[in-house]
Structure 1
Amino acid sequence: MLSILFEIKDGVAVITLNRPEKLNSFNREMALLLQKHLDDCKDPAIRCVYITGAGKAFSAGQDLAEVVDPQGPGMNKILSEHYNPIVSRIKALEKPVVAAVNGVAAGAGANIALACDIVVAAQSASFLQAFSKIGLIPDSGGTYTLPRLIGFQKATALMMLGEKVSAADAESMGMIYKVFDDVPFAENAFNIALFLANMPTKGLALTKQALQASEQNSWEQQLAAEDRLQQQAAATEDYAEGVNAFLAKRQPQFKGK
């Protein structure tokens, strides 16, 4: 059984974490396969990426059996060759990435989800920075991402106390975008990805770049970045189509170009 499922539906690359019997916890095979499929998503025909989990979990994080295996990759490789490349690929993709958190997202599983551009969750889902429970620090970009989403104090407490956060609480504190009822969660979550796939995705990619740049830039640097990226957006076919459609009072037909 493949540990990652991959298919393309209406311009959306659907990536499903698929070790349900292990709550989609990551081993080396699964981590490397996810990286491969994220690279596959560079295909211009793919307009949006949608990541979810099979079964009752999104991902419980690292498979600890691999960590304690003397023949396993070891902690250094798990970070440098598994998780850091995964979250870096998500950030670098020039298209929106949606995380559809269908169940528990713990440890690296939570932080991979939070690295995505838009995160939605089922009502029964939960988020857990589980690292402190076994004497580790949060990884997979969590110490960077979570404080920027919910604030330094709240992030520190969740990481040190290891408290489980319900989907509803995650939404209210700004950790995620939206919560949907469990039924029909998959349909509602996928509709967001489908909507994004039909938008001017070159502009969305430039928006993603601008937002990421804002995390380090001064006010003046960010204004300069906006100017540079806006010039690129204004040169796209989608911008011309959007303006023409508006003036003609018709629905635009964006192509991601």
Structure 2
Amino acid sequence: MLYEKENNISWIIFNREDKLNALDFDTWSQLRDSLIKADNDDTNVIVLTGKGRAFSAGDDIYSMYNLSNPQESELFFENLFAAIDAILNLSKPLISAVNGLAYGGGCEILLLSDIVIAVNDAKFSISEGKLGLIPPMASAIGYKALGRRIMRLLLTAEEIDAKEAKEIGIVDYIVPKEELNSKILEIVKLINNLDKNSIKSIKNWTRIDRKMIEKAVRELSFMCLTSPAKERMRKFIEKRNKLT
């Protein structure tokens, strides 16, 4: 993760460009630390984005495949949930700037964000079911956030474009890639017109219940060790290795 302060914004940037910003143990841990730092820094808004052609491809399948026992799996997913919990506890607005593809956990983070801006060629998919797993955030709060429309994404793992993501409600704004930063600054300017205490109170009253997500993450930690999931992850890795 990269962390920068500019224009009264805390910028948190996924920086595993060669892995499509996949989320391994260290990335989840650094995301948590960066979010906590940003919430306590002298800035008004937090922006989360990615380097390269991906916002985030989601959880690092190689890391999950190599989890070999309940203790390792519990540690990995407790670390994952700590980052999610940091998002849920933010007192500042979180803007996710989707600079490319957002799959799996990368797409799910958008459901926890306050405002989502996507470039017009961004792609979205919630594909954990293909791997014998569940998308914990989308499963726990997706229906409440987006209604029945989330079910097609959960049950088909279909990839959708930015236009459809906006129609469904995952995305708020779509812009050309070269206009992403200017759109971020435009939205930040609007947010800065609000009173800081009002923002904190709004964030507090609209806080998502963490309990259901925590339960779903715990179930995911069990599923990750099952034979069907291991087999599907193995095939995914073999296919990916052939492509590279």
TM range (shorter): 0.7 to 0.9
**2:163 paired with 1:168:** yes
**2:139 paired with 1:131:** no
CA deviation map 1:172-228 (0-9, x unaligned): 12222111122222321243234424532221121122223799xxxxxxxxxxxxx
**2:66 paired with 1:79:** no
Change over 3 Å in CA distance of 1:28–1:121 after alignment to 2: same
Code of the aligned partner of 2:98: V
**2:177 paired with 1:182:** yes
Three-state SS of the structure 2 residue aligned to 1:62 is coil
Structure with greater helix share of residues: 2
The normalised TM-score by structure 2 is 0.79
The normalised TM-score by structure 1 is 0.75
The gaps in structure 2 that reach 5 residues or longer are 211-244
Cα distance in 2 for partners of 1:133, 1:60 equals: 14
Change over 3 Å in CA distance of 1:161–1:207 after alignment to 2: same
Cα distance in 1 for partners of 2:135, 2:122 equals: 20
Shift of 1:55: 0.4
Give the equivalent residue in structure 1 for 2:195: 200
* Identity rate, percent: 25
Code of the aligned partner of 1:68: Y
Give the equivalent residue in structure 2 for 1:144: 140
Give the equivalent residue in structure 2 for 1:248: none
The gaps in structure 1 that reach 5 residues or longer are 216-257
Q: CA RMSD, aligned part only?
A: 2.3
Code of the aligned partner of 2:140: Y
Indicate the structure whose relative CO is greater, using CA pairs within 8 Å and at least 6 residues apart. Answer: 2
Contact 1:15-1:51 within 8 A present in 2 as well = yes
Question: How many residues are paired up?
Answer: 210
Give the equivalent residue in structure 2 for 1:49: 46
CA deviation map 1:87-129 (0-9, x unaligned): 2111211110100011111111111122111111111112110
Contact 1:146-1:175 within 8 A present in 2 as well = no
